[in-house]
Amino acid sequence: MLRRYIKPYLHLIAILLALAGPAKAGENERQPERWYQDKWCFENGGRVEIALEDQTRCDCVTATHAVEIEFAERWHHAIGQSLHYSLKTGKKAGIALILHRGNDRKYFLRLKAVIERFKLPIRIWLISDEKSLVNNRD
């Protein structure tokens, strides 16, 4: 008997939660990393998710670069991955950093400072939230 009264309310709660979800996401909404990989790699004439001899996968390999495509807050992971992919492919290291929030520029500045301080041979590209691709460092 109680089930008969609860069931309509559960449906109503589910509908309200579904409608409220997208409104709360706001600034934190972003495409999955793979979406950026496919877009950036295609626009730069590369191949996506290339399997390497050690069972790792490089996000994008172009004619000249092995590129790690990463969200800005994971900038420190991108350094090691790009250098590893460069070692395994014999191509130059690159990082395409995805900026999807207003405060992500701080991560780009950290990445740039480490690369410059230690003279790391890594090229940086920025992928902005507007999906425009900007070359920031040669």
Domain definitions of the chain by residue range: 28-135
Separation of alpha carbons 85 and 66, rounded Å? 6
For range 85-91, the mean pLDDT: 96
Q: pLDDT tens across 53-63, in order?
A: 999 999 999 99
Please tell me the predicted confidence (pLDDT) of residue 80: 97
Please tell me the predicted confidence (pLDDT) of residue 136: 43
Per-residue pLDDT band for 26 (boundaries 50, 70, 90) equals very low
> Which neighbouring-strand residues pair with 70?
97
Residues 6 or more apart whose CB falls under 8 angstroms from that of 127 comprise 36, 39, 40, 69, 96, 97, 98, 99, 133, 134
Separation of alpha carbons 47 and 58, rounded Å? 9
Rounded to two decimals, what is the model's pTM? 0.73
Kind of pairing, strands 122-127 and 133-135?
A: antiparallel
